[in-house]
Amino acid sequence: MARTGKRDGKGAPTGFSSRWRTVGALRLHALRADGPESAPPVVLLPGLVTASRSMVPLARALTRHGLRPWMLDPAGFGYSDKPPRALAISEQADVVAEWLRAEGLVPAPLLGNSVGSQLAAAVAARHAGIASRLVVLSPTLRPALRRPLAWVRLLPRPTGPRDRPGGRRRVRMLAGVHDRLGDEPSLRVLNAVSYTFCSVPRALSTARFAVQEEMERRLGRISAPTLVVRTGRDPFSSSRWARQLVELLPDGRMVRLDGRSHTAFYLAADEVAEVVGPFLAAARAHPA
């Protein structure tokens, strides 16, 4: 059951506000762009370690398309509570779905980046009608890459309950670090901070779940119009696999950003927004 959220500006970058919402036993944090309440929302799901801060440049760019982005810290990452064990993609998806309902964002346009694309696809597939549109940005992981990473599956499987969360003492420390780094620090620095505060075991467990997750198995159950964005120099994807994803989607299409890499969401945010902004904004005119 979700309890009423509250606002807390600590650690939020300029132009954004923090929102807290308790879902079940987990207190989740999200950044929401400031602006008119009438602006249509769009929910950005980051790579599961880098968390909401990594999506700030893209969120700023999307506001210029008349959208009001929300960026969630998935359970275990960023400022959100950390369950005793890492959550599988399907478990994360159920938490995200409950959070979306609690915030009154259903149906919502969803954009998932990197491992966040796996999460966004799982949300849309497991919870019919919750996504009005879906963007799969720099999807992971192409089958040819899963095979050499199969050793990750041999890591100990996380066990135990997902409630009794911790990590709240670290939130103030992390916010202080973010304040000192500024709104848009080097992505490498931001990644290093994110991995440090989420813990290496949690990061490894998340990698295990990402390798196990075969996103293409879910796509046939996604009814929302979906845009697959393939960057030309992304080692985690391939043009062939991206086309396969589109073919599996009931209502899919693809766009390619040549010359861009897996970091396009951060280092080429304006270019990404030019591609995905109009598609996401069309959710209001053409609801799923």
In DSSP terms, which residues pair with 227 in a beta bridge? 135, 253
Pair type for strands 252-257 and 226-231: parallel
Residue 72 CA to residue 112 CA, distance in Å, equals 11
What pLDDT sits at residue 4? Answer: 39
What pLDDT sits at residue 160? Answer: 54
Residue 270 CA to residue 63 CA, distance in Å, equals 11
- pLDDT band of residue 8 (cuts 50, 70, 90) is very low
For 2-285, CATH number out of 3.40.50.1820, 3.20.20.70, 3.50.50.60, 1.20.1260.10 equals 3.40.50.1820
Percent of the residues in the chain that have a pLDDT greater than 90, as a whole number = 60
State the maximum Cα–Cα separation within the chain, in Å, rounded to a whole number. 49
Pair type for strands 226-231 and 68-73: unpaired
Cis peptide before 245 (omega within 30 of 0): no
Average per-residue pLDDT for the chain: 86
What pLDDT sits at residue 6? Answer: 39
Name the nearest CA neighbour of 98 among 48, 151, 27, 37.
27
* Full 3-state SS string of the chain: CEEEEEECCCCCCCCEEEEEEEECCEEEEEEEECCCCCCCEEEEECCCCCCHHHHHHHHHHHHCCCCEEEEEECCCCCCCCECCCCCCHHHHHHHHHHHHHHCCCCCEEEEEECHHHHHHHHHHHHCCCCEEEEEEECCCCCHHHHCCCHHHHHCCCCCCCCCCCECHHHHHHHHHHHHHHCCCCCHHHHHHHHHHHHCHHHHHHHHHHHHHCCHHHCHHHCCCCEEEEEECCCCCCCHHHHHHHHHHCCCEEEEEECCCCCCHHHHCHHHHHHHHHHHHHHHHHCCC
pLDDT tens-digit series, residues 169-199: 677 777 778 778 877 888 888 888 887 787 7
What pLDDT sits at residue 147? Answer: 64
CA–centroid distance for 265 within its chain: 11
Exposed (0-12), middle (13-18) or buried (19+): which is 254, by Cβ within 10 Å?
A: middle
In DSSP terms, which residues pair with 70 in a beta bridge? 32, 43
- pLDDT band of residue 148 (cuts 50, 70, 90) is low
Q: Which residues make Cβ contacts (< 8 Å) with residue 172, sequence separation at least 6?
A: 10
**Domain layout of the chain by residue ranges:** 2-285
Given a cut of 50, whether residue 39 has pLDDT beyond it is: yes
Q: 26 and 75 in contact (C-beta within 8 Å)?
A: yes
Instruction: Give the predicted TM-score (pTM) of the model.
Output: 0.87
